[in-house]
Amino acid sequence: MGYTMMKSVTITDVAKHAKVSKSTVSQYLNKRFDYMGEKTKERIELAIKELGYQPNIVARSLKQKSTSTIGVIVANILHAFSTQVIRAIEDYCHESDFHIIVCNADDNPEKEKKYIEMLLAKQVDGLIVFPTGDNVELYEKMVKDQFPIVFVDRTVDNVNVPAIVLDNEKASSLAVTHLAEKGYERIGIITSSIKRSISARLGRINGFRNSMNEQNLPINEDYIKSAEINEIQSILEKMLSLHVPPQAILAGNDRVLMEILKYAKANSIKIPNDLAIIGIDDVSFASIYSPALTVISQPAFEMGKQAATLILSSIQKKEVETLVYKFEPTLINRESC
């Protein structure tokens, strides 16, 4: 036996049942009681109870041109940071009775484009995007149309959208300084691919170079690598079998960190004795790992909350400053350096 739609109860049914017009029922639903008789109110309330009426949000959205929904497009859902931010956005939006639709662009600009178009067609009231960076025209069109949008994690050159990002230079500098203090000198950094230039990754590499200079440490280009996740193992192989290998490595994000740990385990490399490791992004198991992992943490919850706040303000037509909101990274000192 297949599914058959129950003939659902509409506002018209309620109106008939309560012997009033549907306008009046609508007023009731929207709590506009200014000039509503006591018995009328009661009759409507009763009718709603008796019929088990639930308003149709789609119909309301059509007329009101607002869906109380915001779209969230993350570049890659596999990063712990993404899920943390999403959770924060969700929590905060929920307080304002907004809902979110999450899409994963999978680091693919085509997919990102398709999702943006779909979400706009679905009439979301705003968009929070971890931009791949490769749909500049589309971003610009939304800016021109004054559609509410905020970026997270990354900025896009010449696109005038408020962005919530980590102070990436600072993050690297925190890591390098920490390692320098511990006496490490030959320090490397591995990030995810920068074939498509991605502001966060570039920022971390820049910060690394600057900070190495400040600490008067030598920069060895063989210690600075960016690659796809599935290439990290062979990158490590090469880097660690150099004549003079690095003593410490900064992992550009959680996925790189996990690859390094995998390599270390497979090759019985002792952390921190054989190799010190520090990661950007806190991971769920950082404190229970042996050794516990020293990490530069992003205030993901704060950043998600800020993104939500900005998008809601923008939707409510409040003034929103189009600037880069930089958040401070924190060093969580544990045992891997």
Partner DNA sequence: CCGATTTAGTAAACCGGTTTAGTAAATCGG
Partner DNA sequence: CCGATTTACTAAACCGGTTTACTAAATCGG
User: What are the helix (H) ranges across 52-167?
Assistant: 57-64, 80-95, 109-121, 136-144
CA 246 to the chain's CA centroid: 32
Task: Name the residue among 213, 200, 176, 186 with its Cα closest to residue 254.
Answer: 200
Residue 26 contact among DNA, a copy of itself, none, beta carbon within 5 to 8 Å by kind: DNA
The nearest distance, CB 94 to a copy of itself, in angstroms, is 9
Using the rule CB under 8 A, give the single segment among 21-29, 37-45, 151-159, 287-295 that binds a copy of itself.
287-295
Q: For the CB of residue 18, give the shortest distance to a copy of itself in the complex, in Å.
A: 20
Please give the backbone phi and psi of residue 316, each rounded to the nearest 5 degrees, phi first. Answer: -80, 20
Contact between 160 and a copy of itself per CB under 8 A: no
101 binds, among a copy of itself, DNA, none (CB under 5 to 8 A by kind): a copy of itself
- Indicate whether 104 belongs to the interface with a copy of itself (CB under 8 A): yes
Closest by CA position to 184, among listed 274, 292, 300: 274
Using CB under 8 A as the binding rule, the residues of this chain from 164 to 193 that contact a copy of itself are: none
User: Which of the listed partners (a copy of itself, DNA, none) does 16 bind, with a CB threshold of 5 to 8 Å by partner kind?
Assistant: none
Question: In the structure encoding, which two tokens stand for residue 270, read together?
Answer: 């002792």
Is the distance from CB of 75 to CB of 153 less than 8 angstroms? yes
Residue 40: which of DNA, a copy of itself, none does it interact with, CB under 5 to 8 A by kind?
DNA
Q: Which of residues 197-236 bind a copy of itself (CB under 8 A)?
A: none
Q: Which does 309 bind (CB under 5 to 8 A by kind): a copy of itself, DNA, none?
A: none
Q: What is the smallest separation between the CB atom of 57 and DNA, expressed in angstroms?
A: 8
Partner in contact with 287, chosen from DNA, a copy of itself, none, beta carbon below 5 to 8 Å by kind = a copy of itself
DSSP states of 255-319: HHHHHHHHHHHHTT--TTTT-EEEEES--TTTTTSSSPPPEEEP-HHHHHHHHHHHHHHHHTT--
- Comparing CB distances to DNA, the nearer of 42 and 137 is 42
For DNA, which is the closer residue by CB, 8 or 206? 8
* 273 contact partners, CB below 8 Å, separation of at least 6: none
Measured between alpha carbons, how far is 203 from 335 in angstroms, rounded to an integer? 26
Q: Is 33 in the site for a copy of itself (CB under 8 A)?
A: no
46 touches a copy of itself by CB under 8 A: no
Binding at 292: pick from a copy of itself, DNA, none (beta carbon under 5-8 Å per type):
a copy of itself
Q: Rounded distance, CA 100 to CA 220, Å?
A: 45
DSSP string covering 164-202: EEE-HHHHHHHHHHHHHHTT--SEEEEEE--SS--HHHH
Cα–Cα distances in angstroms (integers) from residue 136 to residues 112, 141, 151, 231, 248, in the given order:
11, 9, 13, 29, 37
Q: What is the DSSP letter of 110?
A: H
Q: Which spans of this chain sit near DNA (rule: CB under 7 A)?
A: 8-12, 19-24, 26-27, 29-30, 35-37, 39-40, 53, 55-56, 59-60, 62-65
What residue ranges bind a copy of itself (CB under 8 A)? 1-6, 54-59, 61-62, 65, 67, 77, 83, 87, 90, 99-104, 117-118, 120-123, 145-148, 258, 261-262, 265, 283-285, 287-290, 292, 314-315, 317-320
